Structure 1
Amino acid sequence: MSDFLHHFEKIKVKDQAIANYLEQIGIEKWSRANFSVIRYNIMTSNNAESFNNTSRDARKYTITTLAEFLRYTLQTWFFERRTLAMESNKPLPKKIEKKLEDRIEAAKILIVQPLSHYKFYVIDGDRDGQVNLQIKTCNCRRFDFTGLPCTHALAATLSRRINLYSLCSWYYTVDSWLCSYAETIYPVENEE
């Protein structure tokens, strides 16, 4: 939050009218530091862009052919993603596992000072973190924003030998991934 305030002050100095406009529309609507809900670091516009790119040429088809093309595309995507999720042998998808592995490596050199059973002060030499593993927060706000433990939180888990997967939001799990693509998309049968 302090980073946000620092940068927002710069905006105010540069152009007060823009700062007023941003405050008027509601900071919680455009600033990740002020979102009222976890956004899971996922932008759904990527899915829409991908779908638009895939269907660009199909738009010139008749409506029934277009509908069949869209059905087949979704059917294929659901099957491929379901298959990928079922092949996973870890609780989290590969990309998320890699992200956590990188953070764990960085967390190994941090200094952890326990404050209580679930609260820690983590010194990283740049921006220290106050972590509460019970409510899954850190004052760097990365843990809060994404639903994945930040480097500070991972340093705390390493010092206490806590299962890091218990700190990850269910929305990042392979189980969640499977649920997202659980439905089967069937072809429309010919009426005769």
Structure 2
Amino acid sequence: MMETVRRKFMKRIHDRYEAAMKWESNIPPNVNKMLQKAQQKGRYFDPLQCGHWQFEVLDGNRQFVVQLDNHTCDCGIWVVSGVPCKHALACISKKREPIEGYVHHYLKNNTYLKTYSHLIYPIPDENLWSDVKCDTVFPPIKRMIAGRPKTQREEEQLNNQE
């Protein structure tokens, strides 16, 4: 069973590394889809710039404060996912800055490639292991703890004494 699991992980790591090498952008495709959906939802917002990095976005009857320098929004989606929410994307679009700079570095291509760059090395067949000596492995010797051994009492006896 462990051999099957090891082989499955070997294949999965290699496949993910090869797929990441083919990505054209610095952001993975699934994160790009999330950004496009959020950008579609937030394209009708008109953010009000309060400072160089602070915005106020009106979404229906609620207002959200977006701080681009801290990568935060009052809705909390940006902090949890690492991907800018629809409110933040409206602000980024208003400033006309690239979105890639506001995506968490854990979600970028370089980090993904580092994650899957380590290999699980193949292991030759057990019959080819010439240097391995197979001695019998025994369980560890049970040692007696110093002092009188504790007696185990049943709960009924304890309840009757009270």
Q: Normalising to structure 2: TM-score of the pair?
A: 0.75
d(CA) in 2 for partners of 1:91 and 1:110?
27
Query: Which residue, 47, 71, 75 being the options, matches 1:112?
Result: 47
Q: What one-letter code is carried by the residue in structure 1 that aligns with 2:117? A: A
d(CA) in 1 for partners of 2:57 and 2:97?
16
Query: Which residue, 111, 114, 129 being the options, matches 1:191?
Result: 129
d(CA) in 1 for partners of 2:2 and 2:123?
10
Gaps of 5+ in 1: 1-65
Q: What one-letter code is carried by the residue in structure 2 that aligns with 1:160? A: K
Residues 1:152 and 2:87 are matched in the alignment = yes
Q: What one-letter code is carried by the residue in structure 2 that aligns with 1:96? A: V
Contact 1:111 1:124 in 2 (8 A): no
- Which residue of structure 2 aligns with residue 139 of structure 1? 74
Write the mapping of 1:58-73 to structure 2, written as runs, cut at 5 A.
66-73=1-8
Tell me by how many angstroms 1:128 deviates: 2.2
Write the mapping of 1:91-106 to structure 2, written as runs, cut at 5 A.
91-106=26-41
Residues 1:79 and 2:17 are matched in the alignment = no
Q: Normalising to structure 1: TM-score of the pair?
A: 0.63
Per-residue CA deviation, residues 37-82 of structure 1 (Å, 9 max, x unaligned), is xxxxxxxxxxxxxxxxxxxxxxxxxxxxx22212111100001100
The 4+ residue runs of structure 1 with deviation greater than 6 A are none
Identical aligned residues as a percent: 26
Q: How many residues align?
A: 127
| Matched position secondary structure for 1:128 | strand
CA 1:67–1:156 in 2, change beyond 3 Å: closer, same or farther?
Answer: same
Tell me by how many angstroms 1:126 deviates: 4.3
| Matched position secondary structure for 2:113 | helix
d(CA) in 1 for partners of 2:14 and 2:62?
43
Per-residue CA deviation, residues 134-154 of structure 1 (Å, 9 max, x unaligned), is 010011111111111011100
- Which residue of structure 2 aligns with residue 178 of structure 1? 113
Gaps of 5+ in 2: 131-162
Query: Which residue, 161, 166, 170 being the options, matches 2:96?
Result: 161
Compare CA radii of gyration and give the structure with the larger one: 2
d(CA) in 1 for partners of 2:54 and 2:24?
31
Q: CA RMSD in A?
A: 1.1
| Matched position secondary structure for 2:55 | strand
| Matched position secondary structure for 1:111 | coil
Tell me by how many angstroms 1:127 deviates: 3.1
Q: What one-letter code is carried by the residue in structure 2 that aligns with 1:121? A: E
d(CA) in 1 for partners of 2:57 and 2:67?
11
d(CA) in 1 for partners of 2:31 and 2:51?
29
